[in-house]
Amino acid sequence: MKLSLTEIRQDPRLNAFIDQTDKYLKSLGYTDHGRRHLDIVSDRAKMIAKKIGLNEHEQEMAAISGWCHDLGNFLGRTQHHYWAGMLFSQCYINQADPKDVAKIIQAIVSHDKDDLKIVDSITACLIIADKSDVHRLRVKTKNMAEIKSDIHDRVNYAVTDNKLSVDPQKKTITLALKLDTNFTDIMDYFSIFVERMNYCQKAVTYLGYTFNLQINNIKLA
């Protein structure tokens, strides 16, 4: 069986994991890791894969990795990337081409791995797509006092626009953010997102591209 995002999205097992993840992370007060985030990461991973010239099957695998990468959070936050990879493998290792499953679970596990070593473009596409998703809409609480007191909420809430673009001619991948400085400043952004930007940098470099970061039209990297 050839894996397709349309079928994956309808799989009741994966949807159960995602529902349970929503419930668990809501109780911890985390930002969105549910279907909004998964759809954005899936779309972006596919867009990057297409722009860098991967074939349609690889683009689909990038999209599937994006939609499935966070579904292990309900089993524990710190190892959620391993849980997600294991769960995906349990569901599909006997149904799909093992080579495809291997690439997808490697991408999923790598998206938050400390000793990151990228050996596949699908992994790189997923990492860039995931680590670039910072936006006001990821903040779950509507309580302004809560938003201002939590740095993750505050920084996400401050980002009112987020565009990721890939230029195959110039070999650049650019993340352009609009940051509402009434809620946070650029230093706040970097104090929590430096790690994410390092992941992006590694993944973009693996693809042979240069990573650009722009905040409020200021080029920072």
Question: How many residues belong to the site for Fe ion (CB under 5 A)?
Answer: 3
Q: Which among 89-97, 126-134, 153-161, 167-175 is the span making contact with Fe ion, rule CB under 5 A?
A: 126-134
Span from 19-27, 70-78, 135-143, 209-217 in contact with Fe ion (CB under 5 A): 70-78
Q: Which is nearer to Fe ion, 70 or 100 (CB)?
A: 70
32 binds Fe ion (CB under 5 A): no
- Report whether 66 contacts 42 (CB < 8 A): yes
Stretch that binds Fe ion, among 16-24, 86-94, 104-112, 151-159 (CB under 5 A): 104-112
Please say whether the beta carbons of 200 and 221 come within 8 A: no
- Burial (CB < 10 A; 0-12, 13-18, 19+), residue 32, is buried
Query: Contact, 202 vs 123, CB < 8 A?
Result: no
At closest approach, how far in Å is the CB of 186 from Fe ion?
23
Which of 70, 118, 124, 155 is in the footprint of Fe ion by CB under 5 A?
70
90-95 long-range CB contacts below 8 Å, 24 or more apart? 91/11, 91/13, 91/14, 92/3, 95/1
211, β-bridge pairs:
173
Residue from 130, 159, 166, 200 that binds Fe ion (CB under 5 A)? 130
153 lies in the site for Fe ion, by CB under 5 A = no
Summarize as ranges the residues that interact with Fe ion (CB under 5 A): 70, 112, 130
